[in-house]
Amino acid sequence: MTLPVRLGTLSSPPKVPYREGQSIGVIPEGIDKNGKPHKLRLYSIASSAIGDFGDSKTVSLCVKRLVYTNDGGEIVKGVCSNFLCDLKPGDEAKITGPVGKEMLMPKDPNATIIMLGTGTGIAPFRSFLWKMFFEEHEDYKFNGLAWLFLGVPTSSSLLYKEEFEKMKEKNPDNFRLDFAVSREQTNEKGEKMYIQTRMAEYAEELWELLKKDNTFVYMCGLKGMEKGIDDIMVSLAAKDGIDWLEYKKQLKRSEQWNVEVY
């Protein structure tokens, strides 16, 4: 089984700067079954470059505690997720990085940024949105369109929901927010509301945006959503005589289609 997600902040020395969209490595304490130190695990950073407290000395993570029973009836705990979720104020954690270029936030303040996330895959998008809507920067003011699609199994899993709704309330012309809650919502056909099901409601509009040079798409979370999104786009592109898979390659080359799934 999986236990609830923990939203946490680690103190970070000023010499570890990071950019929105990057990850850090965490090396849990202890040794593995072979007697060697545990290997690092990568976690997407959920805070903007200046951190939740605005002093550039913290980094926030979104971690799902993993506990399950294996085929032999033994309870198995995810090494790093449980290490992080059990940390108490003042405890030390060994980190590495930051790393990652795939999910870096675009610098164009007038861009259209479409964010597709499932579960804890929301982390990099929270970092984007904090910079756009919760902070003031002399050299950056977001004037474009940010559109977030977040897919989760139950409404209790809608991480940072209140933050996002507050952003939308204050920036109705620049932020669109759509949730897909698969176990609680259905579409008009009675189908479960996965992230691709919600996107299908705006299929034509999304396709028109994808034909523009300043639209950037970011996908983070469960790998399973990638095929469902491709299925939507294949038929839309075909209406314009475009091969979606080839067009997606062009978007990737121009850094307009960015994917980090697991």
Active-site amino acid positions:
43-44, 220, 260, 262
Partners of 112 in the beta sheet? 145, 215
- The annotated binding site is made up of 44, 64, 120, 152-153, 182-183, 192, 221-222, 260
Structure tokens of 34? 């072979």
Distance CA 168, CA 166 (A): 5
- For 229, residues 6+ apart whose C-beta sits below 8 A from its C-beta are 116, 195, 196, 199, 219
Q: What is the dihedral of CA 15, 163, 161, 233, to 10 degrees?
A: -80
To 10 degrees, what angle do helices 203-210 and 224-239 make? Answer: 80
Q: Are 159 and 127 in contact (CB under 8 A)?
A: no
Distances (CA, A) of 230 to 49, 124, 197: 32, 22, 12
Binding residues for NADP(+): 44, 64, 120, 152-153, 182-183, 192, 221-222, 260
